[in-house]
Amino acid sequence: MLLLVHGSVPAQWTAIPTGTNDELEALIILGDNDYLVAGEAGAAFRTTDGGSTWSTVVGLGNETIRDFIRLDAQVLLGASDRYVVRSADNGDSWTTITVPAPDDLHAFARTGETVLAVGRDGGIVRSDDLGMTWSAQASGVSERLFCAWAFDASNMMAAGRDGVGVRTTNGLTWAPIDLPSSDDWDDMRFFPTAVNVGLMAGEDGALLRSSDGGSTWTLTSTGTTMGLTAIAITNAGDAIITGTTGTAIRSNDLGVSWSVMTSPVSASLNNVDAQGSTVVACGVDGTVLKLGGAVGIEDPMPASDLHLWPLPAQEVLNIHGDDLVGPVSVGIFGPDGKAVAHYTLRGGERSLDISGLSSGQYQMLVRDMHQRSLFGRFSVLR
């Protein structure tokens, strides 16, 4: 049996006019063709027809909204400079909820009915009743926190300015974590299909990747030096990161490698959201982009083929990639995204001894001397 793997699929970004020049920082997809964006001075806009028309949303106050999160089918929260805004009717109306600290809230994380919000001066607040009441927690740091993640009600992380990171394993007390760079970290996401694999996006194209639930992080090449601001993960498991000057990058292998996407704008993108296969981004000057649509610019990602045989494999796996040049580096990753084997093939050698791999599904990343990358998946049967 021969497996033919196509390395990339073209996609398009479509610019959607919003009728505003406000800087948009928060975004949430509420339903089919239903998007809510918000930003400076409480400015907020909603479309229910995919962006053809927009209406002004009231009730979010007059402070900058930086993040939205959905808690259930009806309840939404928004992070503001000085408070949390809450909707119990899927964004139709909003109420303001005072939080004890900090001001300048930047981001939410949630698990079940527990919600975390982080912000200025290392501030962390927590709610255990879907955002109705909040209590402050001491993070032990004074740097501004820009992003957070909750594995469960006890195990949570946050990161932010100057490479700072903190974690709690009891839901109450926080301790610093070591991150391999002093970059500002703006967003953090873990893959729903590989829960131990996470990404942290930061300035100057810096990206951290973890394959052990955030215990350790390594710097990963992204192909860009632009600031990275927000991460979204599609239902297909693709990761999309947006950033400054219209930057967008994409990975279809759990963040191991990245392709730079083209964009119809040069405006900086502050946030991105994915629901199902729908991906929407927002940014400065009222910018809103949607991935897909009749109008847009195709990604310059030429299709490439990687052939693997026999399948399922047992002791030896043969590979062939069109136009691979020179020594070839092969990385093998388990279903959780953790590296399990590495090979360097020289000359015309193109066979791998996989006798040390147990039965299961694996992913493969192949790079040649020109850093051309091919991707594939294979199974081992003992």
Q: Give tens-digit pLDDT for 271-284.
A: 999 998 899 999 99
Grade residue 6 by pLDDT with cuts at 50, 70 and 90. Answer: very low
Whether residue 252 contacts residue 288, with contact meaning beta carbons closer than 8 Å, is answered with no
pLDDT digits over 158-171, tens only? 999 999 999 999 99
Grade residue 297 by pLDDT with cuts at 50, 70 and 90. Answer: very low
pLDDT digits over 185-236, tens only? 999 999 998 999 999 999 999 999 999 999 999 999 998 999 999 999 998 8
Q: Which CATH code is given to the segment(s) 305-380?
A: 2.60.40.3080
Grade residue 382 by pLDDT with cuts at 50, 70 and 90. Answer: confident
Instruction: Kindly state the average pLDDT of the residues 13-36.
Output: 95
pLDDT digits over 57-114, tens only? 999 999 999 999 999 999 999 999 889 999 999 999 999 999 997 779 999 999 999 9
pTM for the model: 0.76
Identify the pLDDT of residue 305. Answer: 59
Q: Which percentage of the chain shows pLDDT scores above 70?
A: 92
Q: What three-state secondary structure class fits 163?
A: helix
Concatenated DSSP letters of 217-259: -EE---S--S-EEEEEE-TTS-EEEEEGGG-EEEESSTTSS-E
Grade residue 371 by pLDDT with cuts at 50, 70 and 90. Answer: low
Helix (H) or strand (E) holding 208: strand 207-210
Whether residue 230 contacts residue 187, with contact meaning beta carbons closer than 8 Å, is answered with yes
Q: Which fold has domain 10-298?
A: Methylamine Dehydrogenase; Chain H (2.130.10)
Q: Cα–Cα distance between 324 and 271 in angstroms, integer?
A: 37
Task: Please choose, from the candidates 364, 284, 287, the residue with its C-alpha nearest in 3D space to the C-alpha of residue 321.
Answer: 364
Grade residue 378 by pLDDT with cuts at 50, 70 and 90. Answer: confident
Identify the pLDDT of residue 336. Answer: 60
List the structure tokens of 61: 């106050």
Find tokens 């970004």 and name the residue: 13
Better-predicted residue by pLDDT, 224 or 5: 224
Grade residue 335 by pLDDT with cuts at 50, 70 and 90. Answer: low
pLDDT digits over 46-58, tens only? 999 999 999 999 9
Identify the pLDDT of residue 5. Answer: 36
Task: Please choose, from the candidates 243, 178, 246, 159, the residue with its C-alpha nearest in 3D space to the C-alpha of residue 205.
Answer: 243
Q: Cα–Cα distance between 272 and 148 in angstroms, integer?
A: 16
Comma-separated ranges of CATH 2.130.10.10 domains in the chain: 10-298
Tell whether the model's pLDDT for residue 342 goes beyond 60: yes
Task: Please choose, from the candidates 46, 113, 138, 123, the residue with its C-alpha nearest in 3D space to the C-alpha of residue 82.
Answer: 123
Comma-separated ranges of CATH 2.60.40.3080 domains in the chain: 305-380
Q: Which amino acid is at 343?
A: Y
Q: Across the strands, what pairs with 228?
A: 243
Query: Mean pLDDT score of the chain, rounded to an integer?
Result: 89
Tell whether the model's pLDDT for residue 295 goes beyond 90: no
Cα 259 from chain centroid (whole Å): 14
151-157's contacts with Cβ under 8 Å and 24+ in sequence apart are 151/111, 151/190, 151/195, 151/213, 151/214, 152/111, 152/112, 153/111, 153/112, 153/114, 153/128, 156/109, 156/111, 156/116, 157/188, 157/214
